[in-house]
């Protein structure tokens, strides 16, 4: 079996393309079974800056093509239009890529804090919809471990920016002091919470929170002392907002040009759209007095962040190397599992056969003595196989496994 990855990110695809193949959470219930029907098992990692599909197959070329077709067809696109933006990796390269992603080393904002949770969530979704089995579960658990080590053992995760915090920093760069401004935050999920926390940190006091689920909006507003606007009240709330920051999981636009133009606002208004797919219709920028920034507007913040974390990233890459080697050793060890199982079964069959033969000759043996002899034979077999099976799990390569199968004539009933 081979580990496979097909994906695109902020390095290979513009915002419009990334948006076109994003998987909002509510679409995963349909997407994961559809992916499983094509490639047997798979995990979808979809964030603001990437969409990646991980799978396993013993026919990598065919499986990679199937994933590319799945990505295009699920989103109503042509495969040939999407192909120039896609990358694909196999085995060690796929493993390394995931571990770097989990550690925040492949993010636009190096070391950003949200990605590790998103890696966990992608595995949880695949497990819930039964599209991931042992190989991919093991891969993603190892990826999370690698990401956690990067954050705990290097400076990459120290004072790390999230995309949400970077959005607030960009707003400061554009507008200066944010404290006297009125802010409307649309979205009270994880990204929205991070935005709200960042706004409070820089001194914003006039904050209105809106969310499709009003209970979550009230929960966030209470923790921050903010006001709440119901989703139906967003058009009215736009009239008072100097800054609108949108960060929801919605599959469609939340803020439209008509909504903005009908709000009656006459002062300049700034929109920061941190969502993927986007929350703010890009045509909003065509309106007089509006300025719109999206996720790609964080590039300048990303460059500064990269310079700050370059040295720490070098240490993090060493951790990734260690974890990749550790995982690949486990992965190669999976080849030994069926061989070990067959060897143990053969040994057990021989033990039982020879034990019964001996017991037939010991006609006067008591039940207690019979149990002693039974335990003795089990112990001998177990101790004889202990070192060989340990070696098979940890050190044997495929040629040695094949040699063992031939040596013990596995599959031969004679």
**CA gap 132, 137 in Å, rounded:** 6
pLDDT confidence bin for 414, thresholds 50/70/90:
very low
163-301: which CATH topology?
Rossmann fold (3.40.50)
Q: Where are the alpha helices (DSSP H) in 85-133?
A: 92-102, 115-128
**pLDDT at position 228, please?**
92
What order of strands is seen across the sheet that includes strand 87-90?
Answer: 42-47, 50-57, 2-9, 87-90
Q: DSSP class of residue 231? A: G
Stronger pLDDT, 234 or 394, i.e. the higher one: 234
CATH code reported for the domain at 2-160: 3.30.460.30
**CA gap 91, 365 in Å, rounded:** 57
Q: Is 11 exposed, middle or buried (CB count within 10 Å of its CB: 0-12, 13-18, 19+)? A: exposed
pLDDT confidence bin for 305, thresholds 50/70/90:
low
Residue 164 has pLDDT above 50, yes or no: yes
**CA gap 204, 211 in Å, rounded:** 19
Q: What is the mean pLDDT of residues 84-110?
A: 94
Contact 182, 267 (CB under 8 A): no
**pLDDT at position 347, please?**
80
- The C-alpha torsion from 11 through 15 and 18 to 23, rounded to 10°, is 130
**pLDDT at position 336, please?**
62
Query: b/e per residue, 236-266, with b = 16+ CB within 10 A?
Result: ebbeebbbbbbbbbbeebbbebebbeebebe
pLDDT confidence bin for 307, thresholds 50/70/90:
low
Q: What is the mean pLDDT of residues 88-117?
A: 91
Contact 248, 223 (CB under 8 A): no
CA diameter of the chain: 105
Closest to 48 measured CA to CA, from 78, 73, 64, 24: 24
Can you tell me which residue has the tokens 């060989």?
A: 388
Tell which phi-psi region holds residue 64, choosing left (phi > 0), alpha (psi between -120 and 50) or beta. Answer: alpha
DSSP for 127-170 reads: HHTT---HHHHHHHHHHHHHHHHHHHHSGGGTTPPPHHHHHHHH
* SS3 call for 302: helix
Can you tell me which residue has the tokens 């990204």?
A: 191
**CA gap 281, 269 in Å, rounded:** 15
**CA gap 82, 77 in Å, rounded:** 7
What order of strands is seen across the sheet that includes strand 206-210?
Answer: 227-228, 206-210, 182-186, 243-246, 269-273, 290-293
Q: What is the mean pLDDT of residues 2-21?
A: 95
For the ranges 136-140, 256-260, 356-360, the lowest mean pLDDT is seen at 356-360
235: Cα within 13 Å, side-chain hemisphere: 9
- Active-site pick, 15, 48, 170, 292: 48
Q: What is the pLDDT of residues 193-237, one digit of tens each?
A: 888 888 888 898 899 999 988 898 899 888 888 899 999 999 999
Residue 394 has pLDDT above 90, yes or no: no
pLDDT confidence bin for 393, thresholds 50/70/90:
low
Q: What is the pLDDT of residues 112-160, one digit of tens each?
A: 878 999 999 999 999 999 999 888 999 999 999 999 999 889 887 665 5
Contact 217, 248 (CB under 8 A): no
Q: Radius of gyration of the chain from Cα atoms?
A: 28
Check if 47 is active-site: no
Residue 253 has pLDDT above 90, yes or no: yes
Q: What is the pLDDT of residues 364-382, one digit of tens each?
A: 888 888 888 888 998 898 8
Q: What is the mean pLDDT of residues 39-45?
A: 95
């Amino acid at each position: 079996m081979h580990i496979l990855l097909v994906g695109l990110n902020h390095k290979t695809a513009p915002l419009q393309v990334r948006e076109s193949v994003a998987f909002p959470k509510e679409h995963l219930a349909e997407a994961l079974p559809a992916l499983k029907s094509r490639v047997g098992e798979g995990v979808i990692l979809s964030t603001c800056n990437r969409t990646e599909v991980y799978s396993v197959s013993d026919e990598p070329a065919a499986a990679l093509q199937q994933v590319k077709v799945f990505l295009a067809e699920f989103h109503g696109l042509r495969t040939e239009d999407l192909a120039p933006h896609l990358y694909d990796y196999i085995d060690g390269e796929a493993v390394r890529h995931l571990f770097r992603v989990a550690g925040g080393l492949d993010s636009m904002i190096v070391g950003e804090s949200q990605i590790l949770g998103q890696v966990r969530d992608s595995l949880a979704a695949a497990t819930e919809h039964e599209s991931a089995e042992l190989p991919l579960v093991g891969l993603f658990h190892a990826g999370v471990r690698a990401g956690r080590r990067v954050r705990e053992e290097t400076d990459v995760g120290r004072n790390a920016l999230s995309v949400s915090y970077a959005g607030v920093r960009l707003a400061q760069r554009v507008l200066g002091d944010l404290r006297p401004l009125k802010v409307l935050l649309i979205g009270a999920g994880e990204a929205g919470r991070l935005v709200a926390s960042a706004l409070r940190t820089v001194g914003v006091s006039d904050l209105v929170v809106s969310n499709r689920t009003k209970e979550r909006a009230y929960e966030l507003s209470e923790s921050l002392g903010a006001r709440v606007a119901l989703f139906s009240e967003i058009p009215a709330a736009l009239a008072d907002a100097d800054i609108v920051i949108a960060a929801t999981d919605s599959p469609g636009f939340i803020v439209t040009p008509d909504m903005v133009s009908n709000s009656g606002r006459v002062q300049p208004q700034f929109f920061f759209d941190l969502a993927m797919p986007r929350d703010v219709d890009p045509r909003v920028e065509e309106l007089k007095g509006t300025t719109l920034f999206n996720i790609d507007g964080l590039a300048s913040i990303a460059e500064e962040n990269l310079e700050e974390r370059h040295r720490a990233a070098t240490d993090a890459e060493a951790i990734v190397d260690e974890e990749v080697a550790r995982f690949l050793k486990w992965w190669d060890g999976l080849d030994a599992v069926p061989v070990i199982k067959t060897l143990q079964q053969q040994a057990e069959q021989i033990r039982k056969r020879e034990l019964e033969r001996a017991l037939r000759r010991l006609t006067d043996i008591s039940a207690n003595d019979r149990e002693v002899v039974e335990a003795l034979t089990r112990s001998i077999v177990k101790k004889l196989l202990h070192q060989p099976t340990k070696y098979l799990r940890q050190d044997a390569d495929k040629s040695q496994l094949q040699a063992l199968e031939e040596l013990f004539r596995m599959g031969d009933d004679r």
